[in-house]
Chain A
Amino acid sequence: MNVPTLFGLCGAVLVGLGLYGLVVSPQPLRKILAFNLVGSGVFLLFGVVARRGAALGMGGDPVPQALVITGIVVAFSATALAVALVLRLHDMTGAATLAPADADEPPVA
């Protein structure tokens, strides 16, 4: 096994782990955190693809590397928006989870 493959497998496990956390965590913030794990796993897979494309003295293919940098920044801005939404929801309703407020109403799928 070589280095890129090792980190590639790591990225694959991170995506699965994040998906698990996204489903089972009741707290919205923990879901956002888990979603960031999925994202970082995907970015890591990108890094592996970049590393495998190393050529002509470059440590990796610079195109996927540049896209990952863009991706990390965009993921952060989406995370900030999600956190702001959760905090506003909490301020308005006092809700601590994303469960529907009225138990009699069927949850919206």
Chain B
Amino acid sequence: MNLALLFDGMLVVLILAVAVWTVTVRDSFAAGIGYAVYGLLLALAWVRLAAVDAALTEAAIGGGLTSVLMIRATVRLRAGEAAARAATPGPLPRLLAALLGGSVAAGLALVVLALPDPAPTLAPQVAEHIATTGLGNAVTAVLLSFRAIDTLLEAVVLIYALIAVWTLTPDRFWGGRPGPKYETDPNGMLAYLARLLPPIGIVVAVYVLWVGADLPGGKFQAGTLLAAMWLLAIMAGLTEAPPISRRWLRGVLVAGTVVFLAIGFAGVPLAGAFLAYPEGFAKPLIVAIEAASMLSIAFTLALLVLGPPERRDQA
């Protein structure tokens, strides 16, 4: 027990050290790298908190996609880096900010120490009703059955975010391709990895999606993995991002939400409530929603990383 606590203590020290470095390091590029390390360390913390589903999501999105997004953006803003650094506030504002951050942290720490014991929990209710869903993974049961409305709205939020990003397109590039055209050495390491990894990544993603019903995993983790594989192929110059005006692309982006909504509304006549599943059909319907959502999530996440179109569709 004490040894485990020692490991956790070291993990917390590492997480905080990397977080301090990410905030204080001079070079923004280094901060982006720091955030990737931070995301992976945080995923370990989630494992220690027995939340493996959240750990997978944090590693894939916090450590992976957010860092790719940040590093790409820092490279593009490099020219303004020196001017921006010169605008760093003086000692007094920094001290006040430290006081603010410190007091909020102290307040939260007091709350953590004063959490009620025994802790309130919904686990018994979940355990009581999980049999009706046919699922073995309680988190998936919450996401797609007990709190399915949250997950549905989240899928909508993702699409709205992508539409908002696309609205930032300059008029002349509307309907064009996001991101620059990546030119890399076709015999280089990046192109090699971009040929080698995607087949493995796709198999792993399908596996993660499938076992998500009973074990940690599911559509978000699988979708993020697919998005990463696609981004790798794009950034290695093996393929190009599609023009955002393509109908097939828009179809794929909304497919997950459309399937989710269709099954949700079908529940009104068949099971008596929106998003209710007819008895005995819960698991196949949930797997269908997850499979359709995985593709939509993968395309949406990758296109969110790539940003608004930057060049005309010349193909």
B-binding residues in A (CB < 8 A): 1-21, 23-27, 29-30, 32-34, 36-37, 40, 43-45, 47-63, 65-70, 72-74, 76-81, 83-88, 90-91, 94-97, 99
* B45-53, B198-206, B240-248, B281-289 - the one binding chain A: B45-53
Known: A7-B49, A70-B151, A76-B301. A26 touches B69 (CB 8 A): no
How many A-B contacts are there with CB distance less than 8 Å? 296
Cβ-defined contact, B220 with A69, below 8 A: yes
A-binding residues in B (CB < 8 A): 4-5, 8-9, 12, 15-16, 19-20, 22-24, 28, 31-32, 35, 38-39, 42, 45-46, 48-51, 53-54, 57-58, 61-62, 65-66, 69-70, 73-74, 76-77, 79-81, 83-85, 87-89, 93-94, 96-98, 100-109, 111-113, 115, 119-124, 126-127, 138-139, 141-143, 146-147, 150-151, 154, 157-158, 161-162, 164-165, 168, 170, 218, 220, 297, 300-301, 304-305, 307-308
Interface majority SS on B: helix, strand, loop or mixed? Answer: helix
Q: How far is the CA of A68 from the CA of B24 in the complex (A)?
A: 27
Report A71 CB to chain B, min CB distance, Å. Answer: 9
Report A20 CB to chain B, min CB distance, Å. Answer: 4
Q: B101 is contacted by which of A19, A33, A52, A58 (Cβ under 8 Å)?
A: A19
Cβ-defined contact, A23 with B62, below 8 A: no
By CB atoms of chain B within 10 A, which of A9, A10, A76 has the most? A76
